[in-house]
Amino acid sequence: MDSQQRRARTRRLAFIAASVVASAALATGPGFAAGVGRAGDPPAPTPTLPPVPAVPAVPSPAAQSSATPAPAVTPAPTTTDPVLDPEPKPAEQLPAFGAYLDYGPRGVTRMAELSRWLGGADLRVGHTYLPGDRWSNIEGAPNFLDAWADWRNARDDRLFVLNVPMLERNEDRVPDYEVRRLLQQGARGDFDHHFRRLAKRLVELKVPDTVIVLGWEMNGITYTHRCGPDPEAWKKYWNRIVTTMRSVPGQKFRFDFTPSRGRDAVGWTKCYPGDDTVDIIGMDSYDQPEGLSFDQQVKEPFGLQEHVEFAKSHGKAISYPEWGLFRNGDNPEYMRRMLAWMDEHKPLYNTLTDYCPHGVWQCDDNPKASEVYRSVLFGRNEEPTPTPTPTPTEPTPDPTPTPTEPANCTPLDLGEWVEYWIGGKLCMRFDWWSRSR
């Protein structure tokens, strides 16, 4: 190659190099210049719930040997991609519950002890009975009412439930013919004055809003105030009692019509005295008779399902003043299902009968059912369970954009060191020659 050819080649290479540099600004596109990666927003701190104080287990009065440990508290799962309401909704009120623990002051004291055994559960319902042996006791003479009144008045949200017999000698197995005569006397108003005195006594004790479970289990054969011997007279008598007690100034009583579950001696709907004098429709429901499953207790004539439907059709709240274990022994399945039933149907209140053979705290004959009762109700109260604020999902940084090459442009491999200093790759457009003309 002569010197003239070498000079021509050198001029061509120089021209090409100059064209490459001149077209660099046009050739650089998105993603070709080296840039700093965008950091994502810092994640919000995860909220923590206040620690749950440890509650020591309180042994039962019967020195229950198999005390159930407090159940472990499972934290709420973290929610991703939450959809938050603009304003928090009020928590749904939990059904009020308690237990029958004793007639008098010991029952009041045991309310606090049972609450501690249940991990501080809020027992808002106190339940006791007036003796039905003589009229003076039905009139409210027993001084244990003072202790229950003090318990009720210690907090505005408590409920005092009082079973009231309709006739004296209430558990003396009075024959049907005499029961019929007594019911007819009551229907005429012969016993009104006894119930007027009771109403005044309760108002004086400042418990005018007592729930009166009047003539309970009237569909059976146990009590003198049973309905079967004369249902019509029984209903008239109930209505006279309610009307008499409501006539006392200052009263705010609610009257609870409470049969036992099932048909018993007479279908309890035959005894229903009418919507005007009934505020609550209750049911005493023990785990009996032997061999009857919970599903059968629900579906039997005059059973749990009919109770709920009957109350709904009359626009009344329901209750379970007495319930518990019985003929089927230590039956955890009954306990689990009955608690679930009440959570589903939300009675105004329920009170477990807590002594043997029915109970779980004062009776050590039912350790399995006791464990279920305690685990379900442990720590239950009216305060809504704190719901942690959902932790927002950490935003995902945008991925590094995939380089896109400008049209008619081929990247030049100049090496990492050169690309570092010039700030990215360069490319050569195929149409540089036409653009330069």
- Residue 398 or 334, more confident: 334
Model-wide pTM > 0.85 = no
> Which residues make Cβ contacts (< 8 Å) with residue 349, sequence separation at least 6?
95, 96, 97, 98, 124, 125, 159, 161, 211, 319, 320, 321
Give per-residue pLDDT as tens, 343-397. Answer: 999 999 999 999 999 999 999 999 999 999 999 999 998 654 443 444 444 444 4
Residue 124, pLDDT > 90, answer: yes
Q: Which of 430, 433, 436, 437 is nearest to 406 (CA)?
A: 430
Q: How sure is the predictor about 94, in pLDDT bands with cuts at 50, 70 and 90?
A: confident
d(CA 197, CA 371): 43
- pLDDT at site 381: 85
Quick one: pLDDT at residue 37?
34
pLDDT tens track for 277-290: 999 999 999 999 99
> Reduced to 3 states, what is the DSSP secondary structure of residue 330?
coil
Inform me whether the pLDDT recorded for 249 exceeds 80: yes
Q: What is the reported pLDDT for 45? A: 33
pLDDT at 265: 96
Q: Where are the alpha helices (DSSP H) in 205-345?
A: 231-246, 294-299, 304-313, 332-345
Asked if residues 332 and 288 have their Cβ atoms less than 8 Å apart, the reply is no
* Single-letter residue type at 239: N
Torsion angle of the four alpha carbons 167, 171, 173, 179, in this order, in degrees rounded to the nearest 10: 10
- pLDDT exceeding 70 applies to what percent of the chain? 66
pLDDT of residue 428: 55
Q: Which tens digit of pLDDT belongs to each residue from 27-60? A: 333 333 333 333 333 333 333 323 333 333 444 4
Is pLDDT at 18 greater than 60 in this prediction? no
DSSP-derived 3-state class of residue 246? helix
- pLDDT at residue 333, as a whole number: 98
d(CA 256, CA 277): 9
Residue 223 DSSP class: S
pLDDT band, very low/low/confident/very high, at 20 (cuts 50, 70, 90) = very low
Angle formed by the axes of helices 176-188 and 231-246, nearest 10°: 40
Tokens standing for 368?
């399995």
pLDDT digits (tens, 9 = 90+) for 193-205: 999 999 999 999 9
Q: What is the pLDDT of residue 12?
A: 52
Strand, helix or coil for residue 21? helix
Looking at residue 75, what is its pLDDT?
A: 37
Higher per-residue pLDDT: 410 or 142: 142
Least confident of 42-51, 117-126, 231-240, 325-334: 42-51
Alpha-carbon gap, residue 196 to 292, rounded angstroms: 42
Which amino acid would we find at residue 404?
T
Question: Per DSSP, what are the bridge partners of residue 281?
Answer: 257, 318
